[in-house]
Structure 1
Amino acid sequence: MTARQRWRGLTGVAAALLLLATPVVPSAASEQGADPGPPRTLPALTNWTAESGSYVYEDGVRLVARDAAARRVASTLADDLRASGRGRVPVTSGAARPGDVLIDVEKQRKSLGAEGYELRAGERLEITGGTEAGAFYGTRTFLQLLAQGDRIPAGRTVDVPQYKERGVGVCACYINISMPWLENLIRDMAYRKQNQLLLELKVKSERHPDANSWGYYTKSDIRRLVALAAKYHITVIPEINSPGHMDPWLEHRPDLQLTDTDGRKQPSRLDVTKDEAFTYYTSLVDEYADVFPAKSWHMGADEYMLGSDFAKYPHILDYARRKYGERATPQDAFVDFVNRVEAYAAGKGKRLRIWNDGLTGDNTVPVAAGTTVEHWLAVRTKPSELIAQGHPLMNAAYSLYLVRGGFHSDTRKLYEQRWDPRVFEGETLTSREGVTGAKISLWPDNGRGETENEVAASMRLPLSHVAQVTWGSPHPDATYADFTARDTAVGHAPGRRDLTKPPVPDGTYTLRDTEGGVPPADYEIRRTPDGYVTLKSARTGACLETRSGKLTLNVPLDPGSSVTQETCDARNTLQRWQLTPVRGGHRLTNAITRMAAHVTDDGRLVQYPTDQQPPSTWQLTPSS
């Protein structure tokens, strides 16, 4: 699903938000006074009881874990301490000594819920969760405090989230997003106690190889990503959008495309009246289950007939009336497809999720109760009605979107208005009951509008803001500047890779293909502001670019398309490349297409996914 045509505005929200204002905890400025207030974390601690003294992190610290669950948490913490430059901290059992970090899981602590924890700092530091997840989140607080210094003020907190779903949605559909970028996102999400990554993406299919247009991920890619997410207590929920936005899957399946009365096929729309369409889609659900163990399945179900008219497709109404009677509407055929997928997913042990915009109220057949609805658009069916109909409701408001090369969430405005997950597009609720949480969403509508590194920089504060409002108070600091200072103080997660540092300094280099497919040539390499490089030919004065082939979301994604020299343009993201050290030299990957430069047998420079053709290895020698 993309975000085009989604902006509808937040009507009347500002006034409603003022009614939802909650008391604020002391700001960063007040923490410098006589009453220091709670230590600074993100999300902010929901409470804090100060005590005299402090815990000091020193050489000789041990991580003491009392059972298997606590040892898993301690092992992850040890990895993160090592990644943050604090050496190898042993994990042990038995009695804790002064200076140790004690990690415990006490299942009888029901008041801590599924993810809450208690943290006590004194001569030693104690973290107790009612579950393994709760203890893990306590270690995230410890790491954030440690990022600000080795001395942690003595005190106690019991910290429990308000919402169970604290998420990020990423459309890695159409355009591949690099694995290191996604891995960084998982680490930063977990560091801020977020627990759900919703990924719309294409997994390279073994059952339907004709659908493997570029933008996909291999199954080994996904297994690695899901394993990292599980280590950090993040559930990865996959999405294949249907029955609309299916063009990545239907390009070579015209038999399944919706066709109007003039014989015009709609390559992005699945014909919901065909049993073969349902079989095709559910076969993809089964294949994804091989690599996604999540107990949820997201089918999208948005914008199916956007910009069109059911009257052009009378067979849809015929189908609905045959199945549900003369009072049925074309929308009932759409809901029927959703419900059939829901029943299929339930049979596989998975709960269904959909977007809300298809639930316009024009249907007579209800969507199956228990289907989670992610609400982003104000339509006739209001959030309160969806909750009353038995749908868990996640806030995925357009105001939380970051559109690549387009609309970006105004985090300052939301913070100052005290936005929280009860504020939906078109309705503000007075209770949290039925609301599962909220997420920010990243969309690639103009795929070349921004690079991954630019997106990472622009999403940092929106990520922190949603983490804050789904865990605790929507307004923990007196000013937005104080909130951004809080974010700066905790920093990034341990183990996060800096993807903005090219491996070679600016200069002119002779590039040699180690296979000898092309003659050596001199290029001026310059770092771009977002951390990639441009390669300007010393002979022609032109820059390497990839631009040929069919465009998808304004990006040339045809494997095998040419890499050419074009007029240099600092604004042109297709002229930005990532240099990656590999054995024997460097790999050259386009920042936008995520395909690597490859030299063909006849000496042409082209781009390919690395699993289709081996990337060329380039030796870089400073030129005289």
Structure 2
Amino acid sequence: MTHREDGTIPPEGYRLEITPEAITLSASDAAGRFYGEQTLRQLRGPSAFRAAGFAPDPVPCGVVTDHPRFAWRGCLLDVARNFRTKAEVLRFIDLLAAHKLNVLHFHLTDDQGWRVQIPEFPRLTSVGGWRHGSMVGRHDGPERDGRPHGGFYTTDDLREIVAYAAQRHITVVPEIDVPGHSQAAIAAYPELGTGEPVEVWTSWGVNPRLLDPKESTVDFYRRVLDAVLEIFPSEVIAIGGDEVPGATERHAWFVDRMIEHLESRGRRALGWDEILDGKPATSAIIGSWRGEEAGVVAAKAGHDVVMCPEQHVYLDHRQADHPDEPIPVGFLRTLADFYAYEPYPADLPEDARPRILGAQAQVWTEHLDSVRRVDYAVFPRLCAFAEVVWSSGPRDFGEFSARLAEAHLPRLDALGVEYRALDGPHPWQRRPGVPGRPR
């Protein structure tokens, strides 16, 4: 294959020319070359997605000219609720790259676990990195499985993950969640809260236990963020800010101090849409998760926005109303629903459209306690989402689903992805008797 540099091609775009004599790949940057190679891999057939031992199929002749619709084509992976090993994260990055996604939003801390090593504060992982048990399914009772759960990534692990992702043109955006979703940190250092000893949380849901927004807590988290910045070169660092029951003006002040600290280090904060209540600096990017309205408000106010509304792109939400659907939580969102999602809200003013950086699918893992469960929840709906954020023009779900069944599911088979079959879960993918909480 011959590579050519062509400055007329948009960033991340490519032109792939295939004749009986030669294959020529033109691009203006390294990302475009990478995506062109992914398209060629697709054309070579499912065997090209196996780790070894394949004979590629002949590729059809023709010209493919392509570039992405959005600059931010993301997927959040929550490893705080249920830890994923380094090898599993590297595999997930490979799957994102195969779908031309370019942001991994890495949710590293929450009430149920702290997953990033901070050498200055070792108790964050020695205490905050594991819990005594977990709620099974979603209910209001006291039942827990009694099974200790934990894990964390060393700084070297994380540097490896970042480098591995960069080779695949994926930016890893870490999230350190404040001032709510912080019980794991408070369990490690009780002075961050009320001073009362607590354990890492074993429940799911919204936790009323918050950080105490005092100067010493601000100083603690500045030092945490400085350690995070040493590991992650991403311009954007996520700071959470969501689901803070009983939040005060002082909590908004605390979030503003985190935004200012990142700005002082040449970075930008990404916060969930609740931080708009405190009127943060417009340098902060807003993740519009509670719906589309906050994204419109934020864009009109001058914020850059990543659209990730729970009504449309939460991959942990249930895929069918059938009783065989395992641990049915959240909104019913089918493959067709994901394919129909439009990242530009209908009521977004034309002059605010450039503020929409793109969109992001979310993989929250309260009910995804193994890589097999992640595969089931994510695929093939992430395939539909990837096409939405990459491709422009009209969409035809019938045409997409035919392509998916005929050409792309065999690629997922070759990759070893245990996706949800189009006609429902296999017997071993069901979780009979485990309660969910549909919405």
Q: TM-score, length-normalised on structure 2?
A: 0.75
Distance (Å, rounded) in 2 between the aligned partners of 1:173 and 1:368: 28
- Deviation of 1:189 (Å): 0.9
Matched, 1:270 2:211: yes
Q: Answer yes or no: is 1:482 the counterpart of 2:405.
A: no
Taking the aligned partners of 1:219 and 1:382, their CA distance within structure 2 comes to 35
Alignment match, 1:608: none
Instruction: Please give the alpha-carbon distance, in whole angstroms, between the structure 2 residues aligned to 1:570 and 1:467.
Output: 28
Could you tell me the percent identity over the aligned residues?
A: 24
Structure 1 letter corresponding to 2:116: V
Query: 1:169-214 deviations in whole A, cap 9, x for unaligned?
Result: 0111143112232222111111111000000112122111122133
Partner residue of 2:222? 282
TM-superposition CA deviations, 1:275-322 (whole Å, max 9, x none)? 1111111111111223222121100111122xxx45xxxxxxxxxxxx
Distance (Å, rounded) in 1 between the aligned partners of 2:413 and 2:229:
29
- Matched AA of 2:14: Y
Corresponding residue for residue 330 of structure 2:
407
Matched, 1:346 2:263: yes
Corresponding residue of 1:182? 89
Q: Provide closer, same or farther for how the CA distance between residues 291 and 480 of structure 1 changes in structure 2, counting only shifts above 3 A.
A: same
Q: Which has the larger strand fraction?
A: 1
Q: Retained in 1: the 8 A contact 2:5–2:29?
A: yes
- Secondary structure of 1:439's aligned partner: strand
The SS at the match of 1:414 is helix
C-alpha distance in structure 2 between counterparts of 1:493 and 1:237, whole Å = 29
Q: Pick 1 or 2: higher relative contact order, CA cutoff 8 A, min separation 6.
A: 2
CA distance in 2, matches of 1:203, 1:487: 38
Does structure 1 retain, via aligned residues, the 8 Å contact 2:15–2:64? yes
Q: 1:490 to 1:291 in 2, by over 3 A?
A: farther
Which residue does 2:44 correspond to in 1? 146
For structure 2, the 5+ residue unaligned runs are 47-55, 109-114, 131-150, 197-206, 318-326, 420-426, 435-439
1:456 to 375, 398, 414: 375
User: Using the alignment, how far apart are the partners of 2:27 and 2:154 within structure 1?
Assistant: 36
| Secondary structure of 1:151 counterpart | coil
The alpha-carbon deviation at position 457 of structure 1 amounts to 2.6
Map of 1:211 onto structure 2: 124
1:167 match: 74
**Cα offset, 1:476, TM superposition:** 4.8
Tell me which of 267, 288, 291 is aligned to 1:375.
288
State the alpha-carbon separation in 1 of the partners of residues 271 and 301 from structure 2.
15
**Cα distance in 1, alignment partners of residues 271 and 169 from structure 2:** 23
Q: Which amino acid counterpart does residue 244 of structure 1 have in structure 2?
A: G
CA offsets 1:426-469 (integer angstroms, 9 cap, x no match): x6436543111111111122465xx3212213311121111100
Determine if contact 2:83/2:152 at 8 Å carries over to the other structure.
Answer: yes
Q: Residue in 2 aligned with 1:232?
A: 168
CA distance in 2 between counterparts of 1:486 and 1:351 reads 42
Alignment of 1:24-103 (within 5 A): 101-103=1-3
Match of 1:560 in 2: none
CA contact 2:313–2:360 (8 Å) conserved in 1:
yes
- Per-residue CA shift, 1:16-64, capped at 9, x if unaligned? xxxxxxxxxxxxxxxxxxxxxxxxxxxxxxxxxxxxxxxxxxxxxxxxx
Query: Which among 391, 394, 398 is matched to residue 472 of structure 1?
Result: 391
In structure 2, the partner of 1:134 is 32
| SS of equivalent to 2:225 | helix
Cα displacement string for residues 551-588 of structure 1 (whole angstroms, at most 9, x for unaligned residues): xxxxxxxxxxxxxxxxxx98699xxxxxxxxxxxxxxx
CA-CA distance at 1:487 after TM superposition: 5.7
Contact 1:298–1:352 (CA<8 Å) still a contact in 2?
yes
User: Which residue type is aligned with residue 440 of structure 1?
Assistant: A
CA distance in 2, matches of 1:248, 1:487: 44
Cα distance 1:419–1:498, how it changes in 2: closer, same or farther (>3 A)?
closer
Q: Does 1:420 align with 2:337?
A: no
Q: Return closer, same or farther for 1:258/1:396 CA change in 2, 3 Å cut-off.
A: farther
The C-alpha deviation readout for 1:567-624, integer Å capped at 9, x for no partner, is xx98699xxxxxxxxxxxxxxxxxxxxxxxxxxxxxxxxxxxxxxxxxxxxxxxxxxx
C-alpha contact (below 8 Å) 2:335/2:381 kept by paired residues: no
Q: Distance in 1 between matches of 2:335 and 2:347?
A: 20
CA distance change for structure 1 residues 163 and 216 in 2, over 3 Å: closer, same or farther? same
Which residue is equivalent to 1:115? Answer: 12
* C-alpha spacing 1:447/1:151, structure 2 compared with 1 (3 Å): closer
Is 230-239 or 145-154 further displaced after alignment?
Answer: 145-154
1:243 paired to 2:179:
yes
Do the aligned partners of 1:242 and 1:270 also contact (CA within 8 Å) in 2? yes
SS at match of 1:120: strand
Compared CA separation, residues 219 and 372, structure 1 to 2 (3 A):
same
Instruction: Structure 1: state its 5+ residue gaps.
Output: 1-100, 261-265, 311-329, 501-527, 531-568, 574-624
Higher share in helix: 2
TM value normalised by structure 1: 0.54
- The verdict on how the C-alpha distance between 1:411 and 1:104 changes in structure 2, with shifts beyond 3 A counting, is farther
Report the structure number with the largest CA radius of gyration: 1
Aligned residues of 1:476 and 1:483 also touching (Cα < 8 A): no
